């Protein structure tokens, strides 16, 4: 019995010693990890500057062996990682080129100026490959000889007085810009098409006429900022704002004339209520077949026309429809995608 008790005490001492040793090891690893985190590591060098030192610490601290033999055969140095990145980029590029060769696509190309007299040129493609996909084609940086404009600012006193004098103009423009911002958001997004943009622009053009009619009658319900000073507004001020709304109405009709004149067939908007007898004779049978396709009808109810016409099964089953609507679906209606790319580049450059 005494021997058993002695043996049990030795075991407990051994466990305590082991736990204490493990606790010291954990503390050493945590301290080493904190030191590594303090070092600046770029994403593509994290393997060599953070992961490999951590592996070396674990090998030397926990396993009590030299880490050099193990870490030397793990290809995580900067040159190896850079080579892997280049190989993956080349593979992605070859796959994208292949898709562009065998699928229909539209191209969006735009440029923007960068600091230090440089220009960034970006291109994106919208591809139909089992659905609409948007891919970046390239981003090229050029050196430009353009010079920034010199802007003269008013003094604080002069600017402050001018702002007070133009209070009604500022509030009016605030209300109008808010409506234009709503339009801008409606034109953006991966699901935007020529048809959806035509809807949004047509709606705003129609609203502008109501705005100037109501404003001319001193009805400010559609101007939440301007209504706060409605009693201070002169008829002459309202006449200026009405003229501006009329000019904006005419400018939008001129600027978007090609989009407004674009003909969109009724069967594209809602093929399940379209009259097949009024459709082009080459599509009449396809319309009847689609209207009696329960799977297509369910897809239309879940996701609308966008979900229906961009579905691979519908594309393969009703090829005549695709020939008629591919421009409506593939064309870039706005420069939103490339502008987003410019914004990301500028954000990254601001951190360097």
- pLDDT: which is higher, 49 or 238: 238
Cα(214)–Cα(217) distance, integer angstroms: 5
Compute the chain's Rg from CA coordinates. 33
- pLDDT: which is higher, 132 or 295: 295
Cα(305)–Cα(268) distance, integer angstroms: 7
Confidence bin at 156 (pLDDT 50/70/90):
very low
Q: What does the pLDDT average to over 65-75? A: 70
Asked if 115 and 349 touch (Cβ cutoff 8 Å), the reply is yes
Q: What does the pLDDT average to over 206-232? A: 89
- Does pLDDT of 153 surpass 50? no
- pLDDT: which is higher, 53 or 206: 206
- How high is the pLDDT of residue 254? 92
| 226-280 confidence digits (pLDDT tens) | 888 888 888 888 999 999 999 999 999 998 888 888 888 888 888 888 888 888 8
| 269-321 confidence digits (pLDDT tens) | 888 888 888 888 888 898 899 889 889 888 888 888 878 887 888 888 888 88
- CA within 13 Å, CB half, 298: 3
- Rounded to 5°, the CA angle 277-280-282 comes to 105
Count CB neighbours of 295 within 10 A: 11
Confidence bin at 158 (pLDDT 50/70/90):
low
- How high is the pLDDT of residue 345? 77
| 58-69 confidence digits (pLDDT tens) | 777 777 777 776
- Tokens representing 83 are 């080579």
Cα(49)–Cα(35) distance, integer angstroms: 12
> Measuring CA to CA, which residue among 52, 44, 48, 50 is closest to residue 68?
52
- CA within 13 Å, CB half, 167: 11
DSSP 82: H
- Tokens representing 279 are 């459709």
Q: What does the pLDDT average to over 76-105? A: 80
- How high is the pLDDT of residue 86? 83
Q: Which of 19-23, 159-163, 242-246 reaches the highest mean pLDDT?
A: 242-246
- How high is the pLDDT of residue 41? 52
Confidence bin at 28 (pLDDT 50/70/90):
low
Q: What does the pLDDT average to over 122-135? A: 79
Helix (H, G, I), strand (E, B) or coil at 111: strand
Cα(139)–Cα(137) distance, integer angstroms: 7
- CA within 13 Å, CB half, 339: 9
Q: 304: alpha, beta or left, given left = phi > 0 and alpha = psi -120 to 50?
A: left
- How high is the pLDDT of residue 209? 92
Rounded mean pLDDT of the chain?
76
Cα(321)–Cα(312) distance, integer angstroms: 12
- How high is the pLDDT of residue 35? 60
Q: What does the pLDDT average to over 181-201? A: 83
DSSP 314: H
């Amino acid at each position: 019995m005494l021997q058993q008790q002695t043996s049990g005490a030795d075991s407990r001492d051994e466990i305590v010693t082991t736990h204490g040793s493990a606790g010291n090891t954990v503390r050493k690893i945590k301290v080493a990890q904190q030191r590594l985190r303090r070092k600046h590591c770029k994403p593509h060098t994290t393997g060599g500057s953070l992961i490999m030192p951590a592996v070396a610490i674990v090998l030397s601290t926990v396993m009590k062996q030299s880490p050099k033999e193990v870490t030397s055969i793990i290809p995580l140095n900067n040159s190896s990682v850079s080579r892997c990145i280049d190989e993956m980029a080349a593979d992605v590029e070859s796959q994208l080129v292949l898709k562009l060769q065998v699928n229909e696509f539209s191209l969006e190309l735009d440029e923007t100026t960068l600091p230090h007299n440089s220009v960034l040129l970006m291109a994106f493609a919208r591809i139909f490959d089992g659905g609409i996909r948007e891919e970046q084609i390239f981003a090229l940086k050029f050196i430009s000889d353009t010079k920034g404009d010199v802007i003269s600012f008013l003094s604080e006193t002069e600017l402050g007085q001018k702002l007070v004098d133009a209070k009604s103009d500022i509030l009016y423009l605030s209300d109008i810009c808010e409506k234009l911002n709503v339009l801008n958001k409606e034109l953006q997004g991966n699901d935007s098409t020529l048809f959806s943009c035509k809807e949004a622009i047509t709606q705003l053009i129609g609203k502008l006429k109501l705005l100037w009619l109501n404003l001319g009658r001193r009805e400010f319900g559609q101007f939440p900022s301007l209504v706060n000073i409605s009693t201070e507004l002169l008829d002459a001020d309202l006449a200026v704002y009405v003229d501006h709304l009329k000019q904006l109405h005419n400018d939008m009709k001129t600027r978007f004339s090609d989009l407004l004149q674009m003909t969109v067939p009724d069967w594209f908007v809602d093929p399940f209520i379209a009259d097949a007898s009024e459709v082009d004779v080459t599509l009449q049978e396809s319309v009847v077949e689609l209207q009696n396709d329960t799977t297509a009808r369910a897809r239309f109810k879940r996701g609308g026309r966008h979900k229906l016409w961009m579905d691979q099964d519908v594309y393969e089953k009703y090829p005549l429809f695709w020939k008629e609507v591919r421009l409506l679906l593939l064309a870039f209606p706005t420069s939103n995608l490339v502008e987003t790319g410019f914004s990301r580049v500028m954000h990254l450059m601001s951190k360097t």
